[in-house]
Amino acid sequence: MSSAGRLETCKAVGFIGGGNMAYAIASGLLNKGVLQSEQIHVSATNLENLQMRWSPLGVKRTTVSNEEIVRKADIIFICVKPQIFPRILDAFEMAHLDTNVDWSRKLFVSIMAGVTLARLRQNLSMFRPYTLARAMPNTPMQVGVGCTVYCRIETNIANASLYKDMELMFKALGVAHEVEESKINAVTGLAGCGPAYVYEFIEALADGGVKQGIPRAMALQLAAQTVMGAAKTVLDTGKHPAVLKDEVCSPGGATIHGVHALEQGSMRGTVMNAVECATKRAAELS
């Protein structure tokens, strides 16, 4: 475990919703040493399942009370499905009645696909002045190689350090960029949903190996390592993927025959269509 930086202001981080994305963020931050388990609070509707999943991380502050998360955490990640958001607003209303909490020193971060900053501002208006952020991370954050984009509404300058803490957390877990909100849906279609496309490619690559007689466990390992290696080569060399592809394709060789088969199957067009469809769906959720 290596520390990726020290948080300036945040003492407690809360997750409303303990599903896959919340788990990816929290486990990644724990692995990087950015957070300690006692700093994490997480809520979900099923306490037994929540504890079963999160206890191995050392996280003990689990609850079914969203209100408790809102009151106790400095940075609150809203990690529920967009359609669930209206059902949890009562928890924010009830928490806000607690006059012992300095509500001006909170940062609310939504990772809900399609939920705009304008909608967050409308639904969480009781917390004015507030700092609201919207982020789109992806699940490889749990192993420290995620992609995140984010944007914000900030009317409370005192919370600038909390926003910096959020940025530190995202950057500790991979690539992170602040963008205009208009870019969020496209990034959702590319990087937010992208791991699923890559997992399908890895599975297909491994299946191809199995068809040719490679044992499945070995085929899967080779496929995953090949994808990881190719991705790292793109990032480390800075070369365009097309250039790297050409370097592998010898005239009349095996690779160019395989590339031809991918072109016949419209692989590139299909992947582009997947990004477009996911982007449109994210916009529909708005």
Are 199 and 279 within one domain? yes
Does 80 reside within a domain? yes
Are 64 and 107 within one domain? yes
Interhelix angle 194-211/216-237, rounded to 10 degrees, is 130
Are 160 and 214 within one domain? no
Q: Are strands 75-78 and 61-63 parallel, antiparallel or unpaired?
A: unpaired
Is pTM, for the whole model, over 0.85? yes
Are 252 and 273 within one domain? yes
Are 147 and 208 within one domain? no
Does 135 reside within a domain? yes
The predicted pLDDT at position 5 comes to 67
The predicted pLDDT at position 4 comes to 62
Contact 56, 26 (CB under 8 A): no
Are 62 and 174 within one domain? yes
Helix (H) / strand (E) element for 67: namely: helix 66-72
Q: Show the tokens assigned to 26.
A: 């929290």
Q: What is the DSSP letter of 284?
A: H
Was 269 annotated as part of a binding site?
no
Are 46 and 165 within one domain? yes
Are 146 and 233 within one domain? no
Q: Residue 162 is part of which domain span?
A: 13-179
Instruction: Give me the tens of pLDDT residue by residue for the chain, a chain 286 residues long.
Output: 445 667 878 999 999 999 999 999 999 999 999 999 999 999 999 999 999 999 999 999 999 999 999 999 999 999 999 999 999 999 999 999 998 988 888 999 999 988 999 999 999 998 877 789 999 999 999 999 999 999 998 766 667 889 999 999 999 999 999 999 999 999 999 999 999 999 999 999 999 999 999 999 999 999 999 999 999 999 999 999 999 999 999 999 999 999 999 999 999 999 999 999 999 998 888 7
The span from the CA of 131 to the CA of 169, in Å, is 17
Was 16 annotated as part of a binding site?
yes
Was 21 annotated as part of a binding site?
yes
Are 165 and 210 within one domain? no
Does 25 reside within a domain? yes
CATH classification at residue 123: 3.40.50.720
Are 151 and 194 within one domain? no
Which residues partner with 40 through β-bridges? Answer: 13
Are 260 and 160 within one domain? no
Q: Show the tokens assigned to 279.
A: 């982007």
Looking at the chain, the number of H-run helices and the number of E-run strands are: 12, 8
Looking at 151, 179, 207, the residue that finishes a domain is: 179
CATH classification at residue 197: 1.10.3730.10
Are 129 and 74 within one domain? yes
Was 265 annotated as part of a binding site?
no
Does 159 reside within a domain? yes
The domain total for the chain is: 2
Question: How many other β-carbons are positioned within 10 Å of the β-carbon of residue 137?
Answer: 27
Was 153 annotated as part of a binding site?
no
Looking at 146, 179, 212, the residue that finishes a domain is: 179
